[in-house]
Chain A
Amino acid sequence: MTGRSRYVTEASSPFLLLSGLAAPPFRGPMLAAGAGLAASLVFDMHGYLPLLCDPAANHPSLGDIVARLELLIAINRPADFALAWLAMLVAMMTPLIALPLSHVRNSSLAARRSRAAAGFLLGYFGCWFLAGVPLFAAALALRLMAGSAAVALAAAVVLSLLWSASPLPQAARNRAHRLRRIGLFGLAADRDCFAFGATVGCWCIASCWAWMLVPLFVTYGHSFAMLAISAIVFGERLRGPGPVRWRAPAALSMTLGWLRRHRIPDRRGGANGYVQ
């Protein structure tokens, strides 16, 4: 008696989801993410991008890449690179930590909440910040192997979809949902907040690293790419914990779900029995 169900969706209304994101505990992190995105957009912070995605520089040799890297380092301050990477992380990752951050704040004395949140954020973004080095190296390697920026971008997207479909990121995400005790007093409380942030950060890296390569190969519309990837990794996290197995990547299932809701005739207007 079971068959393909045209009328029923795993997802609920996207508008309801959006209104939920405008309320606590998501509102603050969403605003921070917006600020990170705006900073990336306004200040044109990603000066390293041409190294990876300059369409004019096809089939660069290792020597070319090294020479351009040296030039980039010579004309940019390290702080600029750091700031650009941080802005990208804040824009893309902050929505993912709304719930663990809420756990940290709610588990702390009212007077210590900001300090507790700071400890958590330090641990979380600290891990991601350090992960920037191997990620950038991986992006360079991919660029070398791919030859052109367009092929590197396509390869990064395919790699990300394959990674998303595999059981490994789900295993990492399951662990990123796990809460940890937060002490209430003194240095023990600071240590717990930092350690919790670092733990969530490491599992987030394990889950999302492939997707983070994608925007690095997009020069024009880099911020749009960041936004799209951010939505994908956020959607993956919202699916919650689950069995560790191969599955359709959230990027595909979300798109197909949207198409089913909006493109299949007679799907609207309470066809699924909603009381409107």
Chain B
Amino acid sequence: MASERQDAWKLGSGWNETLLWYAKAVVELKKLPITDRRSWRYLAAMHQFDRDLWIDLGIITATTALPPDEDTGIAWNQCQHSSFYFLPWHRGYLARFEQIIAATIVSIKGKPGWKLPYWNYLDASNPDARKIPGAFLEEFLPAPDGHVRNPLQDVPRFGQKVLGPEPRLHIDDIDLAAMDETDFTGSVSFGGSQTLFSNPELGVRGQLENVPHGSVHVLVGGARPANPGNGYLSSFYTAGLDPLFWLHHCNIDRLWEAWMTKAGSNMESGKQWLDGPSGRAFAVPKLDGTDLENFTARDTLSGGKFHVGYDDLHAGTGVPVPPVGGVVVATKQGPARMAEPQVIGANDEKVVLGNNPAETAVRLAPEAGGAVVAAMGPGADMAAKAKRLFLKLENIRGVSTAGGLKAYVNLPVGQGSENLPQDRAAGSAALFGLASASKTDGPHGGNGITLVFDITDLARRLIGLGDFDPEHLRVKIISAHEGGDADPVTIDRVSVLRD
């Protein structure tokens, strides 16, 4: 088998050897009790676990014996989101999962060296890239195991089988815009804001975590009301139970690896990130399941025990292949180059989103508003032009498992809610993990999701059109979620930031 992770689509369509052995290993791990650290359910609970929800979904029963608290207190409910630990934690989680699958394959007479494939959905050179790899759609394993349910398919998925925009949830098409962020850490960054292990007061999603990560979760898992149900991939609590989760995150991990080779990327180097988090350490099961083992972000970088290579860091990553004779860029580490953006404007009231769109007025502070218009208008000097403008949606909360949301700025007056012009769109997001992030006793402390959209180009266009009144920006937000008017999504504040 290969020594590097490979594109699932390039391993052969349908039941290729890698995915067939993956399926067989999942069958074995599903047989193990949840008290076994290598079991399918234990590994999924490391992401996040809710006993009542798992009982409701039939994943466990009320009498299922769980591991002791001293074990689950260390290993379960670790998933890092809206944090600069998002990428390293998932990398360590993936690496140990991969090793457990590989060991299981050997135990059932397969070959050693199995590597987790990645789902390279943004590979423009592959017409099938956006399709879920075929093995995840077959109901049964191939002969001679044709009577065995295929565990790669046997999981609730209600969304798309071919990735694309989902207008019913107001989720735009996935893209590689996140790869253009130059700083790993920050409230506007590639990797997420600096946080502790638990990040209720500090967390802001990194751009990669928003798109394509969050979008693919919800597009494939599906969410009401656009789909008949909320799939496992749409929730923090169940995502790890879908075998496709691991191929999706493998691609997200590859995008991080590719981003680090991109000219201009500025990787985190602080001790709190490298050796943290302080307060609670990350842990994975030992390979034989007899114990747990700590790891840090340092372990996930090149040379670390959880760093794994990829066959290709260019296809579907937006990172160009260096010219023949060119020099491969070495990873640069250092403090963020962009200063933390400062708030310069905000709306006056909490936004409530039921079934209908909501419109809110954002006012910029007079001096700052004037400066924005001057800097983004014609004749501005280069230094001022380089500054970016952001729309921030703070503390989006809701009881819905997931959903979608899209924001517009200064839509033409009298514009209805249909066929809204894309050139006024500020950004869109899949609300992956909304209910979990909104739970008061969950790791996000009920503070929900905070999103930041880059509206620099949009503001320039509006200023050029003479349609940018800093005293009164009209922000329209449209959302689809199962709570509807009875359990609306709320947004504490809509603000404008400038670097």
A272 CA to B285 CA, complexed, in Å: 11
Partner of A177, one of B281, B291, B447: B447
Tell whether, in the assembled complex, residue A10 and residue B345 are in contact, meaning their CB atoms are under 8 Å apart: no
B71 at interface by CB-CB < 8 Å: yes
Tell whether, in the assembled complex, residue A16 and residue B272 are in contact, meaning their CB atoms are under 8 Å apart: yes
Q: Which stretch of B157-165, B258-266, B437-445 is in the interface?
A: B437-445
Q: Mark A221-244, 1 if CB is under 8 A from B, else 0.
A: 000000000000000001111111
Which residues 61-111 of A have a CB within 8 angstroms of B?
99-100, 102-103, 106-110
Which residues 161-188 of A have a CB within 8 angstroms of B?
170-171, 174-175, 177-185, 188
- Closest chain-B Cβ to A162's Cβ sits at a distance in Å of 19
A17 at interface by CB-CB < 8 Å: yes
Residues of A within 8 A of B444 (CB): 241
On whether A178 and B291 interact (CB within 8 A), knowing A103-B201, A184-B495, A274-B296, the answer reads: no
A12 at interface by CB-CB < 8 Å: yes
- Closest chain-A Cβ to B189's Cβ sits at a distance in Å of 15
Q: Mark A1-40, 1 if CB is under 8 A from B, else 0.
A: 1111111111111001101100100000000000000000
Q: Mark B426-470, 1 if CB is under 8 A from A, else 0.
A: 000000000000001111111100000000000000000000000
Which residues 350-394 of B have a CB within 8 angstroms of A?
350, 363, 365, 368, 394
B333 at interface by CB-CB < 8 Å: no
A275 at interface by CB-CB < 8 Å: yes
Partner of B446, one of A2, A20, A184, A241: A241
A127 CA to B279 CA, complexed, in Å: 28
- Closest chain-A Cβ to B187's Cβ sits at a distance in Å of 8
A273 at interface by CB-CB < 8 Å: yes
A178 CA to B344 CA, complexed, in Å: 23
A36 CA to B437 CA, complexed, in Å: 36
A67 CA to B281 CA, complexed, in Å: 54
A103 closest partner in B (C-beta): B201
Q: Mark B278-304, 1 if CB is under 8 A from A, else 0.
A: 111101000001111111101100011
Tell whether, in the assembled complex, residue A4 and residue B441 are in contact, meaning their CB atoms are under 8 Å apart: no
Q: Mark B383-424, 1 if CB is under 8 A from A, else 0.
A: 000000000001100000000000000000000000000000
Residues of A within 8 A of B277 (CB): 12
Most buried by A among B196, B271, B291: B291
Tell whether, in the assembled complex, residue A179 and residue B305 are in contact, meaning their CB atoms are under 8 Å apart: no
- Closest chain-A Cβ to B79's Cβ sits at a distance in Å of 14
Tell whether, in the assembled complex, residue B293 and residue A8 are in contact, meaning their CB atoms are under 8 Å apart: yes
B70 at interface by CB-CB < 8 Å: yes
Tell whether, in the assembled complex, residue B271 and residue A19 are in contact, meaning their CB atoms are under 8 Å apart: yes
On whether A17 and B35 interact (CB within 8 A), knowing A7-B292, A103-B201, A241-B198, the answer reads: no
A177 CA to B200 CA, complexed, in Å: 6
On whether A11 and B280 interact (CB within 8 A), knowing A1-B290, A240-B443, the answer reads: yes
Residues of B within 8 A of A99 (CB): 201-202
B476 at interface by CB-CB < 8 Å: no
Chain A at the B interface: SS class: loop
B346 at interface by CB-CB < 8 Å: yes
Tell whether, in the assembled complex, residue A182 and residue B443 are in contact, meaning their CB atoms are under 8 Å apart: no
Tell whether, in the assembled complex, residue B38 and residue A8 are in contact, meaning their CB atoms are under 8 Å apart: no
B126 at interface by CB-CB < 8 Å: no
Tell whether, in the assembled complex, residue A174 and residue B275 are in contact, meaning their CB atoms are under 8 Å apart: no
Partner of B343, one of A106, A179, A238: A106
On whether A12 and B276 interact (CB within 8 A), knowing A174-B445, A275-B305, the answer reads: yes
Residues of A within 8 A of B291 (CB): 3, 5-8
B190 at interface by CB-CB < 8 Å: no
Tell whether, in the assembled complex, residue A179 and residue B447 are in contact, meaning their CB atoms are under 8 Å apart: yes
Contact size range, A = 35 or more
Residues of B within 8 A of A2 (CB): 35-37, 67-68, 71
Partner of B271, one of A16, A100, A174, A274: A16
A239 CA to B223 CA, complexed, in Å: 32
- Closest chain-B Cβ to A267's Cβ sits at a distance in Å of 11
On whether A8 and B299 interact (CB within 8 A), knowing A179-B201, A238-B196, A240-B196, the answer reads: no
Most buried by B among A2, A106, A107, A179: A2
B73 at interface by CB-CB < 8 Å: yes
B195 closest partner in A (C-beta): A99
Partner of A273, one of B278, B295, B368: B295
A180 CA to B198 CA, complexed, in Å: 18
On whether A109 and B344 interact (CB within 8 A), knowing A9-B74, A12-B278, the answer reads: yes
Partner of A7, one of B293, B303, B365, B443: B293
B492 at interface by CB-CB < 8 Å: yes
B67 closest partner in A (C-beta): A2
- Closest chain-A Cβ to B10's Cβ sits at a distance in Å of 32
- Closest chain-A Cβ to B219's Cβ sits at a distance in Å of 29
Which residues 15-63 of B have a CB within 8 angstroms of A?
32, 35-38
Tell whether, in the assembled complex, residue A16 and residue B289 are in contact, meaning their CB atoms are under 8 Å apart: no
Tell whether, in the assembled complex, residue A181 and residue B350 are in contact, meaning their CB atoms are under 8 Å apart: yes
Residues of B within 8 A of A182 (CB): 493
Partner of B492, one of A171, A181, A238: A181
Tell whether, in the assembled complex, residue A188 and residue B348 are in contact, meaning their CB atoms are under 8 Å apart: yes
- Closest chain-A Cβ to B472's Cβ sits at a distance in Å of 13
A1 CA to B29 CA, complexed, in Å: 13
Residues of B within 8 A of A9 (CB): 74, 281, 294
Residues of B within 8 A of A16 (CB): 271-272, 275-276, 278
On whether A1 and B305 interact (CB within 8 A), knowing A109-B365, A241-B440, the answer reads: no
- Closest chain-B Cβ to A64's Cβ sits at a distance in Å of 46
Residues of B within 8 A of A3 (CB): 71, 290-291
Residues of B within 8 A of A181 (CB): 350, 394-395, 492-493
B200 closest partner in A (C-beta): A177
Partner of A13, one of B275, B342, B442, B446: B275
Residues of A within 8 A of B198 (CB): 239-241
Partner of A178, one of B70, B271, B445: B445
A274 CA to B298 CA, complexed, in Å: 9
Residues of A within 8 A of B446 (CB): 174, 177-178, 241
The 5 closest A-B pairs by CB, nearest first: A240-B198, A177-B445, A17-B278, A99-B201, A241-B445
Question: Can you list 20 A-B contacts (CB < 8 A)?
Answer: A1-B38, A2-B35, A2-B68, A3-B290, A4-B68, A9-B294, A12-B281, A102-B201, A106-B343, A109-B365, A174-B440, A174-B441, A178-B200, A178-B445, A178-B446, A185-B363, A239-B198, A239-B279, A239-B280, A241-B443
Question: A177-B200, A183-B348 given. 15 additional CB < 8 A pairs?
Answer: A1-B37, A2-B36, A3-B71, A8-B281, A12-B281, A19-B278, A100-B201, A109-B365, A174-B440, A174-B445, A184-B346, A241-B198, A241-B440, A241-B443, A273-B295
